[in-house]
Amino acid sequence: MQLEKYTIDELNHQQAKKHQWRFNGVAADISNIDDVLKKLGVFNIAIPSWALGTGGTRFGRFSGGGEPRSLEEKIEDVGLIHALNKSSNAISLHIPWDIPKNAVAIKALAAQHGLHFDAVNSNTFQDQKDQKLSYKFGSLHHIDKAVRKQAIEHNIEVIKYGRQLESKAISVWLSDGSNFPGQLNFRKAFQNTLESLEEIYAALPDDWKIWVEYKPYEPNFYSTTIGDWGQSYLLANKLGAKASTLVDLGHHLQGTNIEQIVSLLLMEGKLAGFHFNDSKYGDDDLTVGSINPYQLFLIFNELVEGMDAKGMDHATSIGWMIDASHNVKDPIEDLLQSVQAIKIAYAQALLVDKTALVTAQNNNDVTLAQEILQQAYRTDVRPLVAEASLRNGGTLDPIGAFRKLNIRGNLIKERGLKTVATGL
């Protein structure tokens, strides 16, 4: 299904008065309102192809119906999200879960929905049906050169698919690690990983990047070969200018100061971008901003400050992507919530009074520094996000619109109730 402009205009019209009143109230206090709205208007967050179906746990999976049954239908779903919020103009594919068999047609379909392709993701954490060698004991770090070669070739194939779709980056996440002390020689595992990544790096087109993701544990529970940002950064540094570190918010041990990591990676020119989600206990892949929105704001505060210091364009300098999964919520609603949460945090960070903050920092005025951040964080910026969406032709209230237009109901009619999205 496709949303018509008049349908969106009609919905917005019904809410126009209330919105205007709320918007005027907040906007009156913001001196750089035009700049904030402009930045929000060009800010987009890519949607992962694997998040459009209901997730699940190893204990069960409860589908909601009307799920996309093909890559084409996943693109259609991202098209719907983008039509509603005008902030999700890209899709990120995981190979081989979502192989573009006819890349020309897939690219054309995406373009019809105003979408392009974000980073492509390789998968050497599962064995595929006709695969010769197993990744049971790892892939790029494996002790057996033949397994490493197979995994390298897979990554090069992913780059090939990405080229056809005009992606510009490959994301590599490895589950490689060990389950028990003694299983692995850490140094050899790291060196094997580096050598394998070097071969993949050598296959990158000139205008491509490789993003190295880290994660402390799961599925391995003693060590992970790229377990934290230090290990990822070390690899990225050794690989060269096209390599950098991807931060998935759920891939940190509880209490980690993620905003500090982000700040320093950015300073070093080694921040690839984000996999946004939220986390209560581990890599929970919860809706962005659902558990710790203050942390999200603090991350954006570092991003805005650090990018401005380096003259970087907020919207295009790094990769912005969601990596979440939804066990009980409608995937589209969940993704809409996630994008809203990201835009809210970004808008709040844009409101921080930087001059006053620098003065407070230089005076060691701890109380005032905290007040300045919280002043921005406690501003209700939702009308600003809504206004930016409105100006782009999106809806004032994406989730409300999704429900009012009975989009899921229509998708169920089209696709059926008993659908299982391809992929995960």
Q: Which residues bind Mn ion (CB under 5 A)?
A: 248, 275, 283, 323
Return the half-sphere exposure (C-beta side, CA atoms, 13 A cut-off) of residue 412: 10
Between 157 and 365, name the residue whose CB sits nearer to ligand PSV: 157
Q: Which is nearer to Mn ion, 52 or 384 (CB)?
A: 52
Structure tokens at 356: 């006053």
For residue 181, cis peptide bond before it (omega within 30 degrees of 0): no
DSSP at 247: E
Minimal distance, residue 334 CB to ligand PSV, in Å? 15
Residue 176 binding result from Mn ion, ligand PSV, none, given CB thresholds of 5 to 8 Å by partner type: none
Alpha-carbon span 19 to 39, nearest angstrom = 20
Binding site for ligand PSV (CB under 6 A): 50, 121, 173, 213, 215, 248, 275, 283, 323
Smallest gap, in angstroms, from Cβ of residue 102 to ligand PSV? Answer: 24
- Rounded CA-CA distance 84/385 in Å is 13
Distances (CA, A) of 18 to 38, 89, 112: 22, 28, 33
Query: Which structure tokens are listed for 277?
Result: 């989600």
Nearest to 248 by CA among 265, 268, 269, 223: 265
Q: 334 contacts which partner out of ligand PSV, Mn ion, none, CB within 5 to 8 A by kind? A: none
Our CB check for Mn ion shows the closer of 94 and 408 to be 94
Q: Which is nearer to ligand PSV, 119 or 239 (CB)?
A: 119
Q: In the bound complex, which residue of the shown chain has the CB atom lying closest to ligand PSV?
A: 173
Q: How far apart are CA 200 and CA 288, in angstroms?
A: 31
What angle, rounded to 10 degrees, do the helices at 331-350 and 33-41 form?
A: 150
Q: How far is the CB of 338 from ligand PSV (least distance, A)?
A: 14
Of the pair 23, 97, the CB lying nearest ligand PSV is at 97
Q: How far is the CB of 245 from Mn ion (least distance, A)?
A: 12
Question: Residue 32's Cα: distance from chain center in Å?
Answer: 27
From the list ligand PSV, Mn ion, none, partner contacted by residue 121 (C-beta under 5 to 8 A by kind):
ligand PSV
Q: Which is nearer to Mn ion, 97 or 402 (CB)?
A: 97
Out of Mn ion, ligand PSV, none, which partner does residue 302 contact, by CB within 5 to 8 A per kind?
none
